[in-house]
């Protein structure tokens, strides 16, 4: 017999694995980082289920907050946030020439 909390944990863990796989196989770097952020948020819920509220607070602030911001800034600096219609990465040099 399985209780409801176990089923909830199964769903959460399944979501975690799906997020990990999706963030590894997507082509777009921005999508990768966004999926990784949702992965961190689900991890926060799992820390609550595992009775570790200290970890949940830290993971929410650090994993979903600061790490994602650092990833975004790096992507912006290397010009991967500007995508053209085909969804391909536009190179920094080409962008400068177009302007």
Taking the C-alpha atoms of residue 54 and residue 49, their distance in angstroms, rounded to an integer, is 12
**Chain CA centroid to CA 51, Å:** 23
Say if CB 47 and CB 87 are below 8 A apart: no
Say if CB 33 and CB 17 are below 8 A apart: no
- List residues binding another protein (CB under 8 A): 2, 6, 9-10, 13, 16-17, 20-21, 23-24, 29, 32-33, 36, 39-40, 43, 46-47, 50-63, 65-67, 69-71, 73-75, 77-78, 80, 91-93, 96
Least distance in Å: CB of 84 to another protein?
A: 17
Least distance in Å: CB of 88 to another protein?
A: 13
């Amino acid at each position: 017999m399985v209780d409801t909390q176990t089923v909830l944990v199964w769903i959460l863990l399944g979501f975690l694995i799906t997020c990990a796989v999706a963030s590894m196989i997507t082509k777009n770097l921005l999508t990768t980082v966004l999926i990784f952020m949702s992965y961190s948020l689900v991890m926060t819920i799992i820390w609550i289920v595992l009775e570790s509220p200290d970890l949940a607070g830290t993971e929410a602030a650090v994993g979903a907050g600061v790490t994602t911001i650092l990833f975004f800034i790096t992507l912006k600096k290397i010009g991967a946030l500007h995508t053209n219609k085909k969804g391909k990465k536009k190179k920094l040099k080409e962008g400068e020439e177009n302007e």
